[in-house]
C-alpha cells in the first residue's frame, strides 16, 4: 500500500482518510522513512511546507479537498464522506491544469457504461436537494415576492475565498456580475444570495453592501441573507449569475441558464455562458461537454466516496442515502430536546443521538428547570424509561410539548449500559414504550399497521441472517463457543434469567414474576428435559437485582451457564422459556420455539407460545387481520423503531451499519484481550464514570449543555 506522508496532525484526525486515499497515512517525522507521496489540503498556504518537502524528496504532491457531496453540516462535527485527490493541481485553481480538467479535455467517454447511474444520481440529487452541505433549511415561500415577473439569482461568496482568486476574479468581478444581471434582466427581481458565513458575521462578502430596494427603473433587489438549501432556492429562479461558486454547477444540474464571471471547473466546456473570455483556462479547455458529462467526470470519476455502512470505499449513492437519512432525522423533532433527570454520565452518552444540532439539546434536573425554558409544541421533553419524572407530564400537557420516552435499542453495544458503554442505538417513543404492555407503544403501533415494502422485508431477512451468522445480540459481551453440556439426548430448554425489578416484568407479568418462579414453571412443564439456566449479565456483574441462590437454581436446573454467550445457549437448545426477556426475540431470529409467561413486544403476534393469551396487550395485537411474519417483526423492531448512531461519522446510521460496527469492535477486543476487561466490574466502572464526568466538565466550560 502507498505510504502517504502528511505534515498536519489535523489531517490525521479525519476519519477514514486512509480509506478514501487508499493509502497508509502517516505524519512526516525527521529521519523517518521517505513516503511514496506527500499530501496537503488543496492550495492552502499551509501546504507550502508539504509541497517543499515533496520537491526536496522528489516525490509527488497530492492535493486533497472535500468532495462535492461532503456531509450534512460543516466543520469537525461532520467528517467528510467524500474527497477529491488530485495529483496535478486542484479543481478550483484555473491557473494549473487539474486531473478533472485533464479528464474533461481528453477523448475519454466519461459516460461509458455509467450513463444510467449518472442519470439516476443526477435525478436523486435534484429531487432530494443535495449539495455539498445539507443542514440548511429549505427556502421559505415568504422569502420570495409573489408578483415577480422573472427571478434572477446573483450568488455572492466570502471575501478571500480561494476559488475566487484562483478563478481569476476579484471584488470588481462581483460588481460587474451584479451590474450585468441588472442590465440584462430589466423586468426581473434580482435576488442576491449572501454566504451563510457572512450572515453569521464570521466573514465578509463581496456584495455585503447591497441592500433591499427598488431602483429608479422600478427594478427590485432582494438580499437573501439567511441560510437556505441551495437547490431549493435555485429551482425557484429563472436565471443564475455566478463567479466561481459550486452553486453555479448545481444550477446547471437543475436545468437553469448560468452566466459565469470567473473560471470555475465547470466553465469553458460549452455548458455555461462564459464572461471571463481572457482566462488561460478557457483557452486550454478545447472540448465541448454536456452537463451530464461534467457531472459524471466530477462526481463519479474525480470524487471518492465512503460507504457509511461498511466504512470502506463506496459510491455516490451510499453518500446520498446517508445525507437523506440525516436530513430526515434532523426534521423528526424540529424543536429543542429537553432531557429531564439524566445523570451526567448518561447525558454524555446519549446527547449526540438526540439532535444533529447540539444547541437544541438541553439537560435539566427536573420539571421546574424544564419549565424555565418555556417549552412549546415544537419541543420535546425526554426522559428515561416508562415513568416521567414528577411534573413532566403536566408540563407537557400545559405547553403542548411532546413527551419522549427513551430506552436502549435492541442491538445496543459491545458491553453493558450499566457499565457506561456508549449506545449504538436508542429508542425514542412518543406513544408508550415497547416493554410496557399496559399501553400501546410506538413499536406496537408500527407492527399493528405493518405495511412493509418488499425492500424492507429483504433488508429484514438479510439483517436476521447477519445477526445469526455473527452471533449478535444486545450486549455482545460473552464468548461464543460450542457448549460443553452433557444433555444425553434429552430435550434442552433454555431459561434466561432477568433483572427482577425490570419494568417489563412488573407491568407485563401476572403469574410468573421471578427467576425462581420461571424455573419452577419450566421444570413443571418439562419434567424430563435438560434445563439450562442463564443468569442475566447485569445481575451477574452486580449492577442489578435478581440474583438467584445457586442452591435453588441447581435444584431445578441441570446446568447454570455463567460464561458462554446467550447466543451459544440458544443455538444449543430446543426451546426457550422466558418471562419477557429479549432472549426470546433472539431465539425467534434463530428459528427456536419460544414459550412466554409475560407480554413482551414480540409475543401475541402468532410467533410464540403465549401462556397468558388474555393479556391486555395480546387483545390489542389480535386486531391484526393476520399473524405477523418473522421478517415483518424484524422490520418493525430493528429497522423502523430504533435510531442508530455512528460515533465516528457523528450521524444517524442504519441497523446494518451498527451490526458491522459490533462485529468489528468485538473482534478487535477479542484479539487484544479487551473483551474480558469490559466485565471487570466496579473499579473499572468508576474509572469510566470519572472520564465521562471530565468530558462533560469540558463541555460545560465550552458553553455546551452537558448535563
Residue 698: pLDDT band with limits 50, 70, 90: very low
Residue 197: pLDDT band with limits 50, 70, 90: confident
The per-residue DSSP string of 549-585 comes to: PHHHHHHH-SEE-SSS-HHHHHHH-SEEEESS-HHHH
Outline where 69-189 has alpha helix (H).
99-105, 115-127, 162-165, 171-184
Residue 706: pLDDT band with limits 50, 70, 90: very low
Q: Residue 495: what pLDDT?
A: 97
Is residue 636 within 8 A of residue 443, CB to CB? The reply is: yes
Look at residue 627 and tell me whether its pLDDT is greater than 90.
no
Express each pLDDT in 151-192 by its tens digit. Answer: 999 999 999 899 999 999 999 999 999 999 999 999 999 999
Q: Residue 687: what pLDDT?
A: 67
CB within 8 A of 497, min separation 6: which ones? Answer: 515, 518, 533, 534, 535, 536, 539, 546, 548, 581
Q: Residue 707: what pLDDT?
A: 31
Express each pLDDT in 96-107 by its tens digit. Answer: 999 999 999 999
Q: Residue 673: what pLDDT?
A: 79
Look at residue 691 and tell me whether its pLDDT is greater than 70.
no
Point out which residues pair with 4 in neighbouring strands. Answer: 25, 37
Question: Averaged over 691-695, what is the pLDDT?
Answer: 61
Share of the chain above pLDDT 90, in %: 78
Lowest mean pLDDT among 265-269, 530-534, 582-586, 686-690: 686-690
Look at residue 406 and tell me whether its pLDDT is greater than 50.
yes
Is residue 336 within 8 A of residue 373, CB to CB? The reply is: yes
Report residue 204 as a C-alpha cell: 465578509
What is the C-alpha separation between 442 and 382, in angstroms, rounded? 15
What is the C-alpha separation between 256 and 251, in angstroms, rounded? 5
Q: Residue 702: what pLDDT?
A: 36
* Separation of CA 352 from chain center: 10
Residue 625: pLDDT band with limits 50, 70, 90: confident
Q: Residue 699: what pLDDT?
A: 40
Smallest CA-to-CA distance from 264 within 272, 130, 174 is with 272
Express each pLDDT in 309-319 by its tens digit. Answer: 999 999 999 99
Report residue 203 as a C-alpha cell: 466573514
Give all strands (DSSP E) within 418-498, no chain letters: 425-429, 492-496
Residue 704: pLDDT band with limits 50, 70, 90: very low
Look at residue 624 and tell me whether its pLDDT is greater than 90.
no
Question: What's the mean pLDDT when you consider all of the chain?
Answer: 91
Helix (H, G, I), strand (E, B) or coil at 690: helix
Q: Residue 203: what pLDDT?
A: 84
Report residue 468 as a C-alpha cell: 445469526
Outline where 220-334 has alpha helix (H).
230-234, 247-253, 280-284, 291-295, 316-330
Look at residue 703 and tell me whether its pLDDT is greater than 60.
no
Give kind and range of the element (H or E) at residue 691.
Answer: helix 682-701
More confident residue, 546 or 208: 208
C-alpha pair distances (Å), 127 with each of 121, 130, 253: 10, 8, 11
Express each pLDDT in 546-581 by its tens digit. Answer: 566 678 888 999 999 988 889 999 999 999 999 999
Q: Residue 623: what pLDDT?
A: 85
Q: Residue 696: what pLDDT?
A: 53
Q: Residue 681: what pLDDT?
A: 57
Look at residue 479 and tell me whether its pLDDT is greater than 90.
no
Helix (H, G, I), strand (E, B) or coil at 547: coil
Residue 285: pLDDT band with limits 50, 70, 90: very high
C-alpha pair distances (Å), 368 with each of 221, 339, 391, 392, 394: 48, 12, 8, 9, 11
Is residue 630 within 8 A of residue 450, CB to CB? The reply is: no
Lowest mean pLDDT among 354-358, 601-605, 692-696: 692-696
Is residue 81 within 8 A of residue 335, CB to CB? The reply is: no
Is residue 257 within 8 A of residue 167, CB to CB? The reply is: no
Helix (H, G, I), strand (E, B) or coil at 495: strand
Residue 540: pLDDT band with limits 50, 70, 90: low
Q: Residue 421: what pLDDT?
A: 87
Q: Residue 689: what pLDDT?
A: 64
Phi, psi dihedral angles at 359 (to 5 degrees): -70, -20
More confident residue, 141 or 90: 90
Express each pLDDT in 36-54 by its tens digit. Answer: 999 999 999 889 999 999 9
Sheet holding 2-6, edge to edge: 23-27, 2-6, 37-41, 61-66, 82-86, 303-306, 313-314
Amino acid at each position: 500500500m502507498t505510504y502517504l506522508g502528511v505534515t498536519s496532525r489535523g489531517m490525521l484526525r479525519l476519519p477514514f482518510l486512509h480509506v478514501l486515499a487508499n493509502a497508509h497515512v502517516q505524519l512526516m517525522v525527521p529521519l523517518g522513512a521517505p513516503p511514496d507521496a506527500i499530501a496537503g489540503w488543496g492550495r492552502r498556504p499551509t501546504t507550502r511546507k508539504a509541497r517543499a518537502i515533496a520537491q526536496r524528496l522528489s516525490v509527488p504532491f497530492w492535493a486533497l479537498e472535500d468532495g462535492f457531496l461532503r456531509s450534512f453540516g460543516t466543520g469537525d462535527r461532520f467528517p467528510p464522506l467524500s474527497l477529491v485527490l488530485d495529483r496535478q493541481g486542484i479543481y478550483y485553481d484555473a491557473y494549473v491544469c487539474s486531473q478533472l480538467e485533464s479528464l474533461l479535455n481528453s477523448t475519454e467517454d466519461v459516460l461509458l457504461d455509467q450513463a444510467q447511474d449518472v442519470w439516476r444520481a443526477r435525478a436523486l440529487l435534484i429531487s432530494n436537494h443535495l449539495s455539498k452541505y445539507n443542514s440548511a433549511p429549505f427556502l421559505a415561500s415568504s422569502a420570495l415576492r409573489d408578483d415577480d415577473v422573472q427571478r434572477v439569482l446573483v450568488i455572492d461568496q466570502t471575501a478571500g475565498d480561494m476559488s475566487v482568486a484562483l478563478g481569476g476574479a476579484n471584488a470588481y468581478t462581483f460588481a460587474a456580475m451584479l451590474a450585468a444581471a441588472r442590465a440584462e434582466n430589466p423586468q426581473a427581481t434580482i435576488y442576491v444570495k449572501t454566504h451563510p458565513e457572512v450572515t453569521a458575521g464570521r466573514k465578509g462578502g463581496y456584495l455585503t453592501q447591497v441592500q433591499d430596494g427598488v431602483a429608479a427603473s422600478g427594478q427590485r433587489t432582494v438580499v437573501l441573507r439567511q441560510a437556505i438549501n441551495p437547490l431549493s432556492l435555485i429551482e425557484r429562479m429563472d436565471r443564475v449569475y455566478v463567479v466561481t461558486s459550486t452553486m453555479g454547477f448545481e444550477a446547471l444540474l437543475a436545468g437553469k441558464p448560468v452566466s459565469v464571471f470567473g473560471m470555475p471547473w465547470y466553465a469553458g466546456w460549452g455548458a455555461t455562458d462564459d464572461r471571463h473570455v481572457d482566462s488561460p483556462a478557457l483557452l486550454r479547455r478545447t472540448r465541448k461537454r454536456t452537463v451530464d458529462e461534467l457531472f459524471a467526470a466530477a462526481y463519479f470519476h474525480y470524487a471518492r466516496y465512503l460507504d457509511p455502512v461498511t466504512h470502506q470505499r463506496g459510491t455516490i449513492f451510499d453518500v446520498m442515502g446517508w445525507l437523506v437519512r440525516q436530513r430526515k432525522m434532523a426534521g423528526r423533532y424540529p424543536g429543542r430536546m429537553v432531557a429531564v433527570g439524566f445523570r451526567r454520565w448518561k447525558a454524555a452518552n446519549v446527547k449526540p443521538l438526540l439532535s444533529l444540532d447540539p444547541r437544541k439539546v438541553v439537560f435539566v434536573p427536573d420539571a421546574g428547570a424544564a419549565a424555565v425554558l418555556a417549552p412549546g409544541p415544537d419541543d420535546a421533553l425526554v426522559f428515561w424509561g416508562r415513568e416521567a419524572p414528577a411534573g413532566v407530564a403536566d408540563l407537557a400537557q400545559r405547553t403542548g410539548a411532546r413527551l419522549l420516552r427513551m430506552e436502549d435499542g435492541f442491538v445496543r453495544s459491545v458491553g453493558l449500559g450499566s457499565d457506561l458503554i456508549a449506545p449504538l442505538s436508542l429508542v425514542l417513543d412518543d406513544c408508550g414504550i415497547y416493554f410496557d404492555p399496559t399501553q400501546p407503544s410506538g413499536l406496537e403501533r408500527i407492527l399493528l399497521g405493518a405495511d412493509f415494502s418488499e425492500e424492507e422485508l429483504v433488508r429484514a431477512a438479510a439483517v436476521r441472517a447477519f445477526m445469526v451468522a455473527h452471533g449478535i445480540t444486545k450486549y455482545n459481551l460473552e464468548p461464543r463457543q460450542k457448549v460443553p453440556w452433557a444433555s444425553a439426548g434429552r430435550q434442552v430448554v433454555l431459561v434466561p434469567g432477568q433483572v427482577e425489578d425490570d419494568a417489563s416484568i412488573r407491568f407485563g407479568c401476572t403469574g410468573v414474576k421471578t427467576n425462581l418462579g420461571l424455573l419452577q414453571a419450566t421444570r413443571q412443564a418439562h419434567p424430563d428435559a435438560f434445563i439450562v439456566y442463564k443468569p442475566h449479565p447485569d445481575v451477574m456483574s452486580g449492577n442489578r437485582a435478581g440474583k438467584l441462590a445457586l442452591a435453588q437454581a441447581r435444584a431445578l436446573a441441570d446446568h447454570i451457564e455463567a460464561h458462554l454467550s446467550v447466543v451459544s445457549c440458544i443455538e444449543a437448545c430446543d426451546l426457550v422459556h422466558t418471562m419477557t426477556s429479549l432472549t426470546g426475540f433472539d431465539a425467534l431470529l434463530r428459528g427456536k420455539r419460544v414459550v412466554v409467561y409475560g407480554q413482551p413486544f414480540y409475543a401475541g403476534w402468532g410467533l410464540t407460545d403465549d401462556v397468558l393469551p388474555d393479556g391486555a396487550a395480546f387483545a390489542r395485537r389480535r386486531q391484526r387481520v393476520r399473524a405477523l411474519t418473522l421478517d415483518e417483526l424484524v422490520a418493525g423492531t430493528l429497522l423502523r423503531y430504533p435510531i442508530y448512531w455512528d460515533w465516528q461519522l457523528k450521524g444517524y446510521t442504519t441497523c446494518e451499519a451498527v451490526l458491522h460496527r459490533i462485529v468489528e469492535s468485538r473482534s478487535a477486543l477479542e484479539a487484544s484481550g479487551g473483551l474480558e476487561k469490559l466485565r471487570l466490574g466496579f473499579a473499572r466502572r468508576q474509572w469510566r464514570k470519572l472520564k465521562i464526568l471530565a468530558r462533560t466538565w469540558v463541555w460545560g466550560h465550552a458553553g455546551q449543555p452537558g448535563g
